[in-house]
Chains A and B, each alone.
Chain A
């Protein structure tokens, strides 16, 4: 339960970090909070020869809120984002989901961008990025680029980041005014990976529903958004029977059996959580 030997790099700037990543190529791995990476190293599920520790890189630790989005730098810890009042006011869904990320002690060290770059289907924040139609800001040897979430997540633990690229920030676009959100999940034990999790965003314009989005945790291979706007548009939010989302939700998820739960149970849970989350979100929309 000790990591294999590696060379530790402590770059002071994004350019330095990218240069090292480019040099070591496939043998390199970025270390930010390490709350997913270090267990993997300890259990020797991976043994990269080089760790590029970005904790001393300047300028990556800011949360910035503007009219359009909440921008989160690569060294912002989950706790920092969770407690940021401006981010909460702009996008309550962030805090609604962050309180479900592991335990507070893990959130004190783990980073939101790192969780997204790790791309675990059981992670909350990749799905939140997808629900917000977010982008990942990336720097590499050939310059910087922005990757929309749907091009970023390729599969479980797999992203479109190149070996020389560092995810420097993510941007969570804000929902239109009149949007209510909710995030619910169930786990065997408090703080464990969710058996299923569901985020919901309901937008109400002029008293009627104009947008409905759902996102899923632990029941799809990659972050998946289910847009049900067409099905509910024009209805009064208080009059909607959200249980009618069951068939669409059941079709959208593709859970698997494992030692924690059967696929059928996870699907049932996703359907029920979607109903509850949509009800909560609609109640908060105005």
Chain B
């Protein structure tokens, strides 16, 4: 991103998906833009930029937070996990796997925020009911699915995690 020529740039290093990543950015760089523009990690999506839609949710020390409501400079002491850190196309994480099996996405714009949010939720609540699953995703907006298949995906991801544990 181009900055006004007189804007001070800071050396910012943030650990993202277990790798220290560095860029020179202005203090006002949002963590969401730092991930996408400065590091090229475009898995994190940016929707509303005021904390409502949930698309930009990343894990900060394993807790889900809005990356559009944090500055990159403030993220330096923390471990950031993005959707890229939760699996690959060949080796999907349980939540990603569940979304593909249950048709938990259509356009996919909101999906990264759901995947990070649900991953953290299942760490704390490994066996949710359908009602609890619905509550867990209440802070994320999806405009395609009507949420039914996302609720199914949460429950399926919980099963997949249990199965993986049993092996």
Q: Which A residues are within 8 Å of any B CB, using their own CB?
A: 1-8, 10, 31, 34-35, 38-39, 41-43, 51, 53, 55-56, 79, 102-106, 108-109, 190-191
Contact = CB atoms under 8 A, between A and B. Distances in A.
B27 A51 contact: yes
Given A31-B74, A38-B69, A105-B54, A5 B138 contact: no
Contacts of B96: none
Given A38-B69, A105-B117, A108-B64, A53 B74 contact: yes
A41 B139 CA distance: 21
Contacts of A79: 63
Contacts of A102: 139
Interface size class of B (residues with CB under 8 A): 20 to 34
Contacts, number: 87
Contact of B139 (A42, A53, A104): A104
Contacts of A51: 27
Contact of B51 (A4, A38, A190): A38
A280 B61 CA distance: 37
B53 to A, nearest CB: 11
A98 B77 CA distance: 26
A5 B7 CA distance: 7
A108 B57 CA distance: 12
List the 5 closest A-B pairs by CB distance, nearest first.
A103-B139, A8-B27, A39-B50, A1-B49, A38-B69
A60 to B, nearest CB: 14
A213 to B, nearest CB: 30
Name, among A7, A31, A55, A108, the residue most crowded by chain B CB atoms within 10 Å (CB to CB): A108
A42 B68 contact: yes
Given A35-B51, A53-B74, A191-B138, A109 B69 contact: yes
A38 B27 contact: no
